[in-house]
Amino acid sequence: MSAPDPSQQAFEAAKNAFKQSLKDENLFRELLATTSVEQVYKAAEDAQAKPYADRRLRHTAKIRSFIDKLADYASAVDTFVQAKPDILALIWGPIRLLLLWTSNIAKFADAINEAMKKIGDALPHALKLATIFGDNDKLKAVLALFYKDILDFYVIALKFFNLSRPSLVFESVWPKQRDKIDVVVSNIQRHTTLMRSEVSMQRISEEHEFRVKSLAHFDHETEFQELQKFQTLKTRVSPRIYDDRLDWLLNRSSKASAEWLVTDNIFQSWLDISNPAVRLLWLQGIPGAGKTFLSAAAIDEAKTRHRTLFVFVSHIHQTSTTTRSILQSLLFQLAFDVKDAQSVLVESNERELLGSTRYVLELLKTLLDTPTVGPTYLILDGLDEMEAVERRILLQQLTDLESCPAVKILISSRLEDDIASILDAKATKIRVDKRNSGSIQSYVNQRTQDWIRTADFGQEIRKQVERLLAPVTENANGMFLYARIVLDNAETCNGLEEIERELRVLPVDLNEAYHRILTRISQSSPILRRKANMILGWIGSSPIPLTRHEMEQALLVDSNSNAAPAVITNVNFVRICGPIVEVVDESLQFVHFTVKEYIFSREVSGFIDKAEANYSLAKTLLTYLCSGAFDKELPDQKLQENIVAGIYRLHWFATSQWITVVRRCVEMSKDLSAYPDLLELLTHLALELRNHSFNGQVDLNDRVFRTMEPERPEISQFVCGILQFRQDDKQSDWNYTNSHTWVDLDPSVMSFTSTRIYKRLEELLCEERKHRKPPDCSCSTLHRHYGTSIFKCSYPSCSLNRSGFPTRRARKAHVDSHARPWKCDDPSCFYATIGFSSRRDQRNHWQELHQSSQPAGLTNLTQDCFSRDDLTVLLFELTKAGDVDGLRRISPYLEWLGWHVKPALLLATKMGSLPMVEILSQFAGISGAFDPQYFSGALVKSENPALLRWWLDKLCELYPGADDHRVPAYALLAAEAFSTSSPEMYAEWEDFLLDPVRQLTSARVPRLVSRRMLDRDPVTFDEVQALIPHFGKLSVVFSKSVFCAVKKDALFEARLIQTWHRLIDVVGPLDPRFLGWSLNMLARSSNHSITLATELLRLGAPIDFPRGRAGVIGEVKFSPEELKDRWRYDARGEKVPQTHAKRYKGMTALHYASRVTSEQAARFARFLLEEGANPEYGWAHVTPAEEKGAGLMQKWLGESWDEVVARTKEARQARKREEGVELDDDLDEDEDEELPKPKRRRKAREMQKGDSD
């Protein structure tokens, strides 16, 4: 047997290393399918044949040298090494695939062509090697070296362009790949120097080692830099990571309780990545069924198989939990484990990463599709604890991830209707509360034995306790939480008699268990009862969870005292409030979100008023801030004494949250008139804590506090100034070490005092291993007051400025990541100081603002240089290229093009480029260019909130009085906004909608000229839409166009309802007649949504508008002399004195629905009848029963119109009683009033004639 050829072994080893680097077996097999240079040329020809390929492949000639040299090289390898076909296939396969992958996008084609050209320029002619070396081992060794170089290049290019969405990260990630390709080029150039006959095998061997080291060095350096950037980026984004929560759950649960799930066949199928039948699994169940603990067990099991990303949503963070924040968490969890993902993330667009949900989702999908990531589980628990709109957005985004074949998703939640509407058809379901009785019994047994052992019960008492607790599992009905509350309650009892009284009759359900706890609180002493109610109310109404230390001081704040209280003893919160509260990571929270729902429910005896709790918290915070502890002139010694005494326990919460809490009071009372003591405290705060060194400006841009400006300008100016300070773009770079540069931008002295507290606390803390001797060491006292994580981040905008770190070393590592290392090279530039978080941002900044990029030939343009057609072509080329500078240079000539600018403006809008839109709109004209039918769609689809904000501001500024252009454009824009999938775009539009200052400056209200017009003659009720404040701007959210836009999408409907509620918070309750008009508009639209109709009725819409009492405008009264000649006939044919009621006219919502022949309209009509709509109200002598849709009700619903009318008689009577109407009085004129005037007169003459006869 002959010895193996070392050269062939070298080629084989290179092939295997290449395969391992790809980490994609399918891709490797595809590469082997190309075996010759002819196939490469065929691929180039196919790409060239595609439309516009001449533009995309305009540099293909560049790579001819590369291909020719590779052909030369392949010939040499085939001749001298006699390599196997798969060795040669790896020379040609990657080129073919790269050409195919990049041929559709010009920048891809340019990038790969440029890279191939570099490699081609560096490669030598392989046949020259044969001339130099001859057929010997040196030749084969050098050929193997070049083979490795070529494969190094292929690995870099293939791994990037094999990403599922390389265009998303091209601008950020490709520069790094290009730099690495330059290392390969440098290696090739070094290896070319080996082409000398005197070169030794040792030197060739050394070059093999150098090649490996050079690439490893590049990877090491870039990985180190990327790690630093990643830490900085993680700090700036601050994604919530749930590892601590998982650990907490696993430590408090036993594996036995989740054994049934782990062994379940459906769950096992979901765990099996190769099984596509179960891609999306839904753990559903009633509240308190233990879904969160099961999710933790599922995560624990999944982690043993593949990568697992997970989220635990909690009601505690409901206001800050958004779809974007959850996707950011998943993205960063992935980057923790996968270096390739980390590389992509650190070079991503930071602004988009922070502000765009769509961008984060696309980035996550791109990475999950990357072969190096591999199979991945996504597990999300508690989706029902998110706000309804946010969870619907999240569910829709998650279903997009199903397109990733190696991803499986598990969702755990309650059976909420909106969640079920999305998951029912897509998810495989496991009902938890029907399967967990055995686990609950195990839990009860374990808790019982632990209690008996701890309490040291005697044998007789032990048997009685076990007997009393025996029915708990059955009564729990699948609720772990019920069992926990019952057991916790029992363990608080003292003596057998009290235990028997508690357990003899177990609570019927969870609500009764809560009721017993509240009853016990109500029977305690007045001091404990007041304290318990404050604790429960503040936990439930606080914007963010209060820590144990903060709550302990807040409970001691006294409005009758001018001093901030010092805390002497700790508070046992569970003893005061019962087992419905717990302390987790030093923060107070309810054991379950159903506790919050229960204690704030007005249907509960002894409920806690949430508004009153919020007011109490606001008063406490303002009293604390006005206590004198924040005075700017406070002596250093007194400040130090305050810190050691724990006076500043509540400092962070009070200074950061007081505006949020007070805002809620303002929103509830509009002007704080219901809370005079808060007004007094706010006035005192604005006077006492005003920063007299303030050097900023105040814009009254807060819609809530701005309303206080006329009556309380000092409060409005003070609060709006602080809010403006907190929204400063530069705040992420402010820290306590450079406080002199920013504290005077705060109109209050709070930032100044916070800086003093931070610095003095740092001085009081000893070195970690070298404590000062008492009494100079106050560390133990400080830890008791401020917690063990006492080393706070020095950046006040960072969340860890509150929660802190246990050691200085841990804090330093975190603070270092706040840095922005990439500075602008121009010393006069603002960014020369604050810098950028990535090299890419610094490079882009330099190119856009400091580097002249003026193209040749555009320096001294005159109109004689080109024709109108040339200018049009140039305009479009510059716009497509996004060349803002180029557009500025040709802008003096754009007036020459006139309306030809409009298509370019539309293109710039679709691209989302605000700078280009600003330039082009000067010449296209807003009214002419911004055609609502086209522009609104392009504007919203651009997903650029800044562009939308600019357009809305323009809408307010331009064309005063030109409502014919303004209102239709705005209505179309509103419809597009409601149907956008971008939360950021919708939020921008909603902010405009609810802002009372930004108005459409409407010069007139269509048709509704004055009240006199309504009094003079009955009018069409369409004019009632003007009864809403700011007509035209606000009425659009109740219009047909918007109703149609949200059709068939539960998310958009929920978004619309949420906007209605926010609108009412701003303008107050809406006129019932306006709501009646809105219900009518809904019936007249193509969207017969029962969900929207239900909400309109709940808000107060009269169901029979414009008929009945709601349609009456006024009544004309006649004198006795006039009445002699004025008679009318009532519904019974009797002659009665005539009165003339002025009223709106038209069909009811039920009548409109009955005219439509669809199944949805039939269901809508049935719903209205069931809600009490009157089927007798007709129009033009036609009743709803006579319409086509009514006749089809039997077909669609299996129930005829008459049957539904008969069945709903009681509902109509109930509604009339509710409206205060007599049952036999329809509060409407005769049916003839709804006839046209000539017919009414004719019928009146006939009746008068009959009477005289």
Residues in the chain: 1253
- % of the chain with per-residue pLDDT over 90: 23
How far apart, in whole angstroms, are the C-alpha atoms of residue 1012 and residue 955?
31
Residue 799 has a pLDDT of 81
- % of the chain with per-residue pLDDT over 70: 81
Q: What average pLDDT score do residues 188-197 get? A: 76
Residues 6+ apart with CB under 8 A from 623: 557, 558, 559, 681
How far apart, in whole angstroms, are the C-alpha atoms of residue 1237 and residue 1219?
30
Q: Residues 368, 401: contact at Cβ < 8 Å? A: yes
Residue 856 has a pLDDT of 39
Residue 1247 has a pLDDT of 40
How far apart, in whole angstroms, are the C-alpha atoms of residue 1128 and residue 1134?
8
How far apart, in whole angstroms, are the C-alpha atoms of residue 1160 and residue 1163?
5
Confidence of residue 638 (pLDDT cuts 50, 70, 90): very high
Residue 928 has a pLDDT of 44
Check residues 257 and 849 and name the one with the higher pLDDT. 257
User: Which of 58-72, 313-327, 760-774, 1028-1042 has the lowest average pLDDT?
Assistant: 58-72
Asked if the model's pLDDT at residue 772 lies above 80, the reply is no
Residue 786 has a pLDDT of 92
Residue 1112 has a pLDDT of 65
Neighbours of 756 (CB within 10 A): 21
pLDDT digits (tens, 9 = 90+) for 99-110: 888 877 777 888
Work out the burial of residue 328: count CB atoms within 10 Å of its CB; fewer than 13 is exposed, 13-18 middle, 19 or more buried: buried
Residues 6+ apart with CB under 8 A from 932: 968, 969, 971, 972, 973
Q: What average pLDDT score do residues 929-941 get? A: 67
How far apart, in whole angstroms, are the C-alpha atoms of residue 1218 and residue 1110?
13
How far apart, in whole angstroms, are the C-alpha atoms of residue 489 and residue 500?
12
Asked if the model's pLDDT at residue 34 lies above 60, the reply is yes
pLDDT digits (tens, 9 = 90+) for 990-1015: 888 887 767 665 434 444 333 333 33
Q: Residues 383, 313: contact at Cβ < 8 Å? A: yes
How far apart, in whole angstroms, are the C-alpha atoms of residue 1061 and residue 1096?
11
How far apart, in whole angstroms, are the C-alpha atoms of residue 626 and residue 607?
31
Q: What ranges do the domains of the chain cover?
A: 6-224, 238-435, 439-506, 521-764, 788-816, 820-851, 863-994, 1148-1219
Average pLDDT across the chain, whole number? 80
Residue 1014 has a pLDDT of 31
Residues 6+ apart with CB under 8 A from 1180: 1234, 1235, 1236
Pairing type for strands 376-381 and 307-312 reads parallel
pLDDT digits (tens, 9 = 90+) for 647-669: 999 999 999 999 999 988 887 77
pLDDT digits (tens, 9 = 90+) for 241-278: 999 999 999 988 877 888 899 999 999 999 999 898 89
Residues 6+ apart with CB under 8 A from 661: 541, 542, 543, 614, 617, 618, 621
Check residues 509 and 874 and name the one with the higher pLDDT. 509
Q: Residues 800, 790: contact at Cβ < 8 Å? A: no
Residue 667 has a pLDDT of 78
Asked if the model's pLDDT at residue 1131 lies above 80, the reply is no
Q: Of 54, 103, 372, 343, whose CA–CA distance to 111 is shortest?
A: 103
Please list, residue by residue across 441-477, b when 16 or more beta carbons sit within 10 angstroms of its beta carbon and e when fewer do.
bbbbeebbeebbeeeebeeeebeebeebbeebbeebb
How far apart, in whole angstroms, are the C-alpha atoms of residue 620 and residue 608?
17
pTM of this prediction? 0.64
Residues 6+ apart with CB under 8 A from 1211: 1169, 1170, 1171, 1172
> Token pair of 660, please?
């949020």
Pairing type for strands 587-590 and 280-284 reads unpaired
Q: Residues 17, 28: contact at Cβ < 8 Å? A: no
Confidence of residue 1250 (pLDDT cuts 50, 70, 90): very low
Measured CA to CA in angstroms, residue 1151 lies from 411, 1107, 1176, 1206 at distances of: 43, 11, 9, 17
Q: What average pLDDT score do residues 933-955 get? A: 78
Check residues 328 and 120 and name the one with the higher pLDDT. 328
DSSP state letter for 104 = T
Q: What average pLDDT score do residues 878-883 get? A: 77
Residue 830 has a pLDDT of 52
Orientation angle between helical segments 750-764 and 779-786, nearest 10 degrees: 140
**H helices within 81-200, ranges in order?**
85-102, 106-122, 126-133, 137-161, 166-192
Measured CA to CA in angstroms, residue 273 lies from 47, 109, 403 at distances of: 36, 35, 14
> Token pair of 235, please?
């700090």
Task: Report the chain's C-alpha Rg in angstroms.
Answer: 37
Confidence of residue 1243 (pLDDT cuts 50, 70, 90): very low
pLDDT digits (tens, 9 = 90+) for 1049-1098: 777 888 898 889 888 877 778 888 889 989 999 999 989 999 899 999 98
Question: Taking phi first (over 0 means left), then psi (-120 to 50 degrees means alpha), and beta for anything else, what does residue 1006 get?
Answer: beta
Q: Residues 378, 334: contact at Cβ < 8 Å? A: no
Residue 18 has a pLDDT of 87
- The per-residue DSSP string of 326-394 comes to HHHHHHHHHHHH-HHHHHHHHTS-HHHHHH-HHHHHHHHHHHHTSTTT-SEEEEEE-GGGS-HHHHHHH
HSE at residue 1055, side-chain half, CA atoms within 13 A, is 30
Q: Residues 1036, 974: contact at Cβ < 8 Å? A: yes
Residue 463 has a pLDDT of 87
Q: What average pLDDT score do residues 157-165 get? A: 81
Q: Of 274, 285, 307, whose CA–CA distance to 378 is shortest?
A: 307
Residue 857 has a pLDDT of 40
Question: Taking phi first (over 0 means left), then psi (-120 to 50 degrees means alpha), and beta for anything else, what does residue 1223 get?
Answer: alpha
Residue in the structure block whose two tokens are 């000092």: 714
Check residues 295 and 140 and name the one with the higher pLDDT. 295
Question: Taking phi first (over 0 means left), then psi (-120 to 50 degrees means alpha), and beta for anything else, what does residue 976 get?
Answer: alpha
Asked if the model's pLDDT at residue 407 lies above 80, the reply is yes
Q: Of 207, 412, 172, 202, whose CA–CA distance to 291 is shortest?
A: 412
Residues 6+ apart with CB under 8 A from 170: 107, 108, 111
Residue in the structure block whose two tokens are 């802002």: 995
Q: What average pLDDT score do residues 730-759 get? A: 88
Q: Residues 1079, 1093: contact at Cβ < 8 Å? A: yes
Amino acid identity for residue 569 in this structure:
T
Superfamily of domain 238-435: P-loop containing nucleotide triphosphate hydrolases (3.40.50.300)
Q: What average pLDDT score do residues 904-917 get? A: 84
Asked if the model's pLDDT at residue 335 lies above 60, the reply is yes
pLDDT digits (tens, 9 = 90+) for 513-563: 898 899 889 888 999 999 999 999 999 999 999 999 999 999 999 988 888
Neighbours of 201 (CB within 10 A): 11
